Each structure stands twice: as C-alpha cells, then as structure tokens.
C-alpha cells in the first residue's frame, strides 16, 4: 500500500518537470536524518565497540544482515537503495517489506534477507524519534557546514565538472538529477552508490571520508557510478573497455574486468577536479600515510593513469588509450596465470592470513626447514623452521596483529626460486593499548619451490620505512 502510494508520488515528481528533460545532468546534494541514522548504524556494525544505546538494536540488526551477506558488502545495495525518497522510516520499512525474498544481490547471488532487513528497518523506525530529537540537530548543523564548504569549493563549477566527466567518458548526457546524500559516517570506504527503486544511481558520501577537494573528488567518483548506471546503451568508454577486455580473452569474472574501468573512474574524477576546480588537487588514489589506493589497483600507475592523462591531453586518441590499457591487461593476465606466480602470490596471502590469525604453527609451515630470517637493527638471525615457530609464537602472545597487508612490487621467478621485493603494512595492537601501532616496512624475500610443489619462504629480510601511531 505504502509502496504503491510512494510510487505514484515519485512518478508524478518525475513527470512534472517534463520540460527539464533538456536540462543537463546535475547533482542534488542533500541531507536526510533517516539516511544519516541508518548509515551511522551500518558504520557502527563494522566496528567491534559497543554502540550508543539509541543505535544498539539497529547495529545488532545490521550485523545479522551482514551475516546473511557474508563478505559481500555491496549486497547491501538492495536495502540501501530503498532509502532514497523514503523520507520516513515507516515508508522505508514498507519498501523493505515488499522486497522479494530471496533477493538477487550485487554479484548475482540470491540471498534470503527479508527477516533481517525488516528487523533493521524496524529498529531504525524505533530509533528515529529519539535520534531526530537528541542527535540530529547537532549533526544537521555539522553536515550543513560541510555542505556549505562543498558548495563554496565547487564555486558554481559542479555543472562544468559533470560535463567534463561525461565528455571524457564518452557518454551522452542522460539528463538526470543525481541524488547525493551527505552523511556523518558510512561503512568502509565511506562512499557508495546503489540503485534506487527507480533503477537510478543514488550516492551516499560520508563527510569524514575525505577533506577539501578530495571530498569533491569522492562525490564526483560516486556520481560517475550513477552516470554509468544511466549509460543505458553502454555507449561510454567504461563499457567499451569492459567489452574489449573480455574480447581479449580475460574472463568476465576476473578482477581486471571490474578494476580497470573503476580505476578510470578514480583517475577521471581526480583529473576533473584538478582541471576544473584546483590544479593543486592531489588524487584520492595517492592516499595518505596509511597507503595509496593506486598502489593496490592493478596497472593503475603503469598503464591506466598515463594512458588516461594522455587521452585527456589529446596526445592520444580514445582508441590508442584503450589499446594501451587492454594490452597491459592481457600481459598482466598472462603473467598472473603462470602457475609459479600463482604459487608465490598464494604464499604471500598465506603469510598475511597466518599473521593476522596469530597462528605460529601455520606461519612457520610457510618457511623452508632451513629458512633464515634477518630482522633489521642488528637483531639476531632466526635460523630454521623450529626457531621461526618459537619466535612467532612468542611474538603473537605479546601483541595481536590487527591488520596485515603485503604488497609485492616486484616478483622475479627463475625455476624453483623467486625473489620478491615489496612493502608491508602491519597494525600491531599491544595488550591494553588504545589504538594500533602502524608499521610500514620494505622487504626482500627469497621463496623456494619445495619438493612437494609448495612455495615457501627461504630467506627474509626487511627494513622499516617508518613507524607511526
Ligand atoms: Zn567506486
């Protein structure tokens, strides 16, 4: 019933400004207490600490939704998308009640979510009156301050940004208004775009996701997702690249097919800000002390960024740009398909997993029996698997690792030996500490393929890049 009523109202709203069909695509950046409450509960559900009482039931419900979705965080889109235009928690709940069950979530799986999603919507509805009375006035004031800053930073050039992006992405203007909800906090990575009930993109951006021009870039990045959704005929460069990668033999489910167009979205949004708003803008992908996204996106620095910038500068054509990215992708895909390389990559992810689990047994099993570890700073060499086992077991007892990332920069394989040069980022939380210590190291690792065909660490040394709290 509710759903029907909303639909009709929504249709009227869409139909009334029929004349605006000729209007260029624009952003509608707005605040909404229901969405702010909901996204805060989603963000809190990701953290281990106890939520404030007003959020507690919604956070518990969000965690049970996440349990149903497993690791598929984008699966939330089917619920989150229904927020756009709901206004009242009651309407949102009614929309959730009409969701099919099981529902097809992002990634294609079918998941039965209704019970958990309804519990979430119900908890949000229960929390709304107190949230609006106690918390919203201050949050609204803060969000309005952010909104003013965003408007000022755009300086009236948001339209110019959108047309620059559409032009670069080779998309015809879809003549849509893209809703962008500014919220106090949101689940990782702080910004996302989902389908609303009208199959249009709706963006959510947390004001703590980035600052200054980086927040503008984040908004434009999310808007690009909405533009891609609106690119019904798949005319644009992003869709072309995806088709060309698949035609070049890269399987559709390979992460390159998703990551390369997505990297373009990042680079293009950053360049849009740099060329339209502020030439001093530093891309979001360049990261901060905790690491750079561009380092983790395959081929970002070696192919996508240079190819896209040349294309924007008109020093190469669109076809040349696409050729360059596809060629780099094919060569990386061939390299990645090499069984020896897969073995070495498996070793690196096994190391990270065992370290994170604090499992000294599993970790030492990834070293050869006569392995050597040469720690920095004149510490004694650790020699042999047994000593390595003791070393790590003691270490894990002293402090838990709360985050481990191993980034290989170079892998050279020759026969049964491989030399890996890379960087690690480790978060160590000593017992009783408030927050983690973050260690950034550069390492040199010699791996060896043992007689059982398994790649193991044979020699390992590292040197700290920096250590920061
Ligand atoms: Zn994105």
Give the H or E element holding residue 195: strand 191-195
Instruction: Tell me how far the alpha carbon of residue 265 lies from the centroid of ligand 1, in angstroms.
Output: 7
Residue entry with tokens 């990042």: 266
Instruction: Tell me how far the alpha carbon of residue 177 lies from the centroid of ligand 1, in angstroms.
Output: 19
User: What contacts 108, CB < 8 A, 6 or more positions away?
Assistant: none
Quote the CA–CA distance of 110 and 112 in Å, as a whole number: 7
Instruction: Tell me how far the alpha carbon of residue 262 lies from the centroid of ligand 1, in angstroms.
Output: 6
Quote the CA–CA distance of 17 and 262 in Å, as a whole number: 33
Report pLDDT for 13: 37
The DSSP result for 231-275, as a single string, is -TT--SHHHHHHHHHHHTT--TTSHHHHHHHHHHHHHHHHHHHHH
Instruction: Tell me how far the alpha carbon of residue 331 lies from the centroid of ligand 1, in angstroms.
Output: 25
Instruction: Tell me how far the alpha carbon of residue 221 lies from the centroid of ligand 1, in angstroms.
Output: 6
Query: Token pair for residue 115?
Result: 């019970």
Rounded to the nearest 10°, the torsion over CA 428, 430, 431, 433 is -100
> Which CATH fold topology does 339-468 show?
Nuclear Transport Factor 2; Chain: A, (3.10.450)
Alpha helices in 16-113 (DSSP H): 33-45, 56-69, 77-80, 89-97
Report pLDDT for 400: 77
Instruction: Tell me how far the alpha carbon of residue 402 lies from the centroid of ligand 1, in angstroms.
Output: 25
Edge-to-edge strand list for the sheet holding 201-206: 26-30, 177-183, 201-206, 191-195
Instruction: Tell me how far the alpha carbon of residue 437 lies from the centroid of ligand 1, in angstroms.
Output: 29
Low-confidence ranges of the chain (pLDDT < 50): 1-20, 468-469
User: For residues 283 and 267, is the Cβ–Cβ distance under 8 A?
Assistant: yes
Report pLDDT for 3: 33
Instruction: Tell me how far the alpha carbon of residue 463 lies from the centroid of ligand 1, in angstroms.
Output: 34
Instruction: Tell me how far the alpha carbon of residue 304 lies from the centroid of ligand 1, in angstroms.
Output: 15
Instruction: Tell me how far the alpha carbon of residue 327 lies from the centroid of ligand 1, in angstroms.
Output: 23
Instruction: Tell me how far the alpha carbon of residue 5 lies from the centroid of ligand 1, in angstroms.
Output: 33
Instruction: Tell me how far the alpha carbon of residue 264 lies from the centroid of ligand 1, in angstroms.
Output: 10
Instruction: Tell me how far the alpha carbon of residue 241 lies from the centroid of ligand 1, in angstroms.
Output: 16
Report pLDDT for 468: 47
SS3 440: strand
Instruction: Tell me how far the alpha carbon of residue 190 lies from the centroid of ligand 1, in angstroms.
Output: 11
Residue 70: count of CB within 10 angstroms of its CB? 10
Instruction: Tell me how far the alpha carbon of residue 263 lies from the centroid of ligand 1, in angstroms.
Output: 8
Instruction: Tell me how far the alpha carbon of residue 191 lies from the centroid of ligand 1, in angstroms.
Output: 8
C-alpha angle with apex 306: 220 to 217, nearest 5 degrees?
15
Quote the CA–CA distance of 36 and 33 in Å, as a whole number: 5
Instruction: Tell me how far the alpha carbon of residue 40 lies from the centroid of ligand 1, in angstroms.
Output: 20
Instruction: Tell me how far the alpha carbon of residue 261 lies from the centroid of ligand 1, in angstroms.
Output: 10
Instruction: Tell me how far the alpha carbon of residue 390 lies from the centroid of ligand 1, in angstroms.
Output: 43
SS3 230: helix
User: For residues 240 and 170, is the Cβ–Cβ distance under 8 A?
Assistant: yes
Quote the CA–CA distance of 2 and 92 in Å, as a whole number: 9
Report pLDDT for 106: 83
User: For residues 388 and 359, is the Cβ–Cβ distance under 8 A?
Assistant: no
Instruction: Tell me how far the alpha carbon of residue 75 lies from the centroid of ligand 1, in angstroms.
Output: 15
Instruction: Tell me how far the alpha carbon of residue 225 lies from the centroid of ligand 1, in angstroms.
Output: 7
- Name the residue ranges covered by the structural domains of the chain: 20-206, 236-337, 339-468
DSSP assignment, residue 112? -
Instruction: Tell me how far the alpha carbon of residue 431 lies from the centroid of ligand 1, in angstroms.
Output: 36
Report pLDDT for 426: 87
User: For residues 207 and 213, is the Cβ–Cβ distance under 8 A?
Assistant: no
Length of the chain: 469
pLDDT above 70: percentage of residues in the chain: 94
User: For residues 215 and 207, is the Cβ–Cβ distance under 8 A?
Assistant: yes
Instruction: Tell me how far the alpha carbon of residue 238 lies from the centroid of ligand 1, in angstroms.
Output: 13
């Amino acid at each position: 019933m509710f759903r029907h009523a909303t639909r009709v109202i929504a249709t009227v709203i869409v139909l009334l400004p029929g004349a605006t069909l000729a209007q260029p695509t624009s952003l509608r950046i707005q605040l909404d207490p229901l969405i702010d409450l909901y996204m805060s509960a989603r963000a809190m559900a990701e953290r281990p600490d106890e939520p404030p009482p007003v959020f507690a039931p919604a956070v518990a419900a969000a965690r049970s939704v996440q349990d149903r979705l497993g690791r598929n965080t984008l699966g939330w889109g089917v619920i989150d998308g229904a927020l756009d235009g709901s206004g009242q928690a009651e309407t949102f709940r009614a929309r959730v009640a009409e969701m099919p069950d099981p529902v097809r979530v992002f990634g294609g799986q079918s998941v039965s979510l209704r019970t958990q999603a309804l519990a979430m919507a119900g908890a949000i509805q229960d929390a709304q009156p107190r949230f609006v009375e106690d918390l919203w006035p201050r949050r609204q004031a803060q969000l309005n301050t952010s909104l003013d800053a965003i408007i000022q930073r755009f300086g009236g050039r948001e339209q110019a940004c959108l047309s620059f992006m559409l032009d670069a992405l080779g998309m015809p203007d879809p003549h849509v208004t893209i809703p962008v909800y500014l919220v106090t906090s949101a689940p990782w990575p702080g910004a996302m775009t989902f389908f609303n009930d009208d199959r249009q993109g709706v963006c959510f951006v947390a004001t703590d996701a980035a600052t200054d021009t980086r927040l503008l870039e984040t908004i434009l990045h999310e808007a690009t997702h909405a533009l891609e959704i609106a690119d019904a005929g798949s005319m644009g460069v992003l869709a072309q690249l995806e088709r060309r990668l698949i035609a070049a033999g890269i399987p559709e489910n390979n992460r390159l097919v998703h990551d390369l167009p997505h990297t373009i979205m990042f680079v293009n949004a950053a360049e849009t800000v740099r060329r339209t708003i502020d030439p001093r803008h530093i891309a979001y992908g360049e990261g901060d002390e905790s690491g750079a996204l561009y380092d983790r996106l395959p081929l970002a620095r070696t192919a996508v960024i240079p190819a896209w910038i040349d294309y924007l500068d008109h020093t190469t054509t669109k076809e040349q740009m696409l050729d360059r990215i596809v060629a780099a992708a094919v060569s990386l895909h061939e390299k990645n398909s090499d069984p020896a390389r897969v073995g070495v990559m498996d070793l690196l992810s096994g190391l990270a997993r065992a370290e994170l689990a604090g499992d000294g047994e599993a970790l030492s099993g990834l070293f050869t029996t006569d392995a050597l570890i040469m720690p920095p700073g004149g510490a004694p060499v650790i020699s042999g698997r047994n000593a390595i086992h003791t070393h790590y077991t003691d270490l894990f007892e002293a402090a838990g690792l709360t985050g481990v990332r191993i980034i290989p920069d170079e892998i050279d394989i020759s026969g049964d030996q491989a030399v890996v040069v890379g960087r690690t980022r480790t978060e160590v939380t000593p017992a009783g500490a408030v927050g983690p210590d973050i260690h950034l190291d550069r390492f040199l690792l010699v791996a060896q393929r043992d007689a059982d065909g398994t790649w193991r660490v044979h020699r390992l040394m590292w040197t700290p890049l920096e250590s920061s709290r």
